[in-house]
Amino acid sequence: MKQSTEQALSEAAERIRKENFVRAILTGKRRSNAPKFPRVDIRPVEIKGKVMLQVIAHDGRKDYTNNFDLDSKEIEVLLDSGFANIIVDSTQESYQVQITKKEEAIVGTSRTRLERTLTHDRTKERLLAESDPIFSLLGMADSTGRIKPSYRDKYIQIDQLLRLVEPIVQAIPTGKQFRVIDLACGSAALTFAVHAYLSKRFVVETLGIERDQVLVSKAREKVANESVLGIEFRNESIQSATREKFDLVLALHACDTASDDAISFVIDSKSTAALIVPCCHQSRPEEVEESLSAVQVLARDGILYERFADLVTDGIRAERLRSAGYEVDVVEFVPDEHTARNLMIRALSKN
């Protein structure tokens, strides 16, 4: 739905001050103005018995934190400081604003189920500690063993992935062999992290598949320089990968039809479990086009058409796995302030 930018920002500010406000994320830059920071997070905190708004600005190297009263006009100033994308989440609803090149606001809402937490300077226990050597190997940690601010989102993404892996492996006895393949592994940060986590409990064999020879060479260098055991990288496509059975198949942000290739790999190899995060839906199956043609009301608004098409595409992908005998659910991979492509198809063989 289109609104004036002034009206949309006013609504965002009002929602931030409500008692059910959970978080706000400000990213991107408007054509007419550029914000000082690439991203700003806002959340409610309780300080000395008083609820305030904590604003955390990120510049990629350092975080800058300020606390403001609920009625502070700094919130309006911040919202109108040049950000193109604004998300305001409450315990039950997400309010999204996208400001176009024409300075028009496209506004939408969706359901959420979030918990409001007012703890100040809260910390969360992660499945892989910041001090784990794997993060130094990946260049994500500094010399003191702390994750660098520029890699904080990646660290959260890794932790969320491990939490989705955990239910798959918790019934497997410690010490057993466990085989993992990461299809279209890219820079392999998630590949290394999953390998490190599982290696604490199992004898792990991990295989990374990637078409980009440069990325494969860099991953191999990390393995050789740090003597990481049980992990191998191959320069090949998903289609050409040997259909061996694996305990866990990963395909995280595999672009375009690579997610479909990964699903074919899972089914053909009869692998036990899979975690697939689709990305960049440039090509769509014929079934998607047929489904969309029946929903004419979406054809007028490109953004609605694309979002609905993404969901239909992923729905068909999930159904392919169900038809092949897998238990499937679609879950949120990470909160959408960390990545817009945050839906994961999780599959577990019934056999």
Asked whether the predicted pLDDT for residue 306 surpasses 80, the reply is: no
% of residues, the chain, pLDDT over 70: 87
With the CA atoms of 121, 125, 131 and 137 taken in that order, what torsion angle do they form, in degrees rounded to the nearest 10? -110
For 134-187, how does the pLDDT look when each residue is reduced to its tens digit (9 = 90+)?
999 999 998 888 888 889 888 988 998 898 888 888 778 888 899 999 999 999
For range 17-44, the mean pLDDT: 89
Output the pTM of the full model. 0.62
For range 118-141, the mean pLDDT: 81
For all residues of the chain together, what is the average pLDDT? Answer: 86
Identify the band that residue 337 occupies on the pLDDT scale cut at 50, 70 and 90: very low
Residue 83: the pLDDT is: 92
H/E run at residue 327? strand 326-332
Please report, for the chain, the start and end positions of each structural domain, with discontinuous segments joined by +: 2-111, 133-349
Which of 56-60, 67-71, 200-204 shows the lowest mean pLDDT across its residues? 56-60
Provide CATH code, domain 133-349. Answer: 3.40.50.150
From 81, 88, 90, 92, select the one nearest 107 (Cα to Cα).
Answer: 88
Beta pairing class for 203-210 and 177-183: parallel
Contact in structure between 108 and 96 (CB atoms under 8 Å): yes
Identify the band that residue 287 occupies on the pLDDT scale cut at 50, 70 and 90: low
Contacts 24+ apart (CB under 8 A), 305-308: none
For range 297-303, the mean pLDDT: 61
Q: Residue holding tokens 């479990």? A: 273
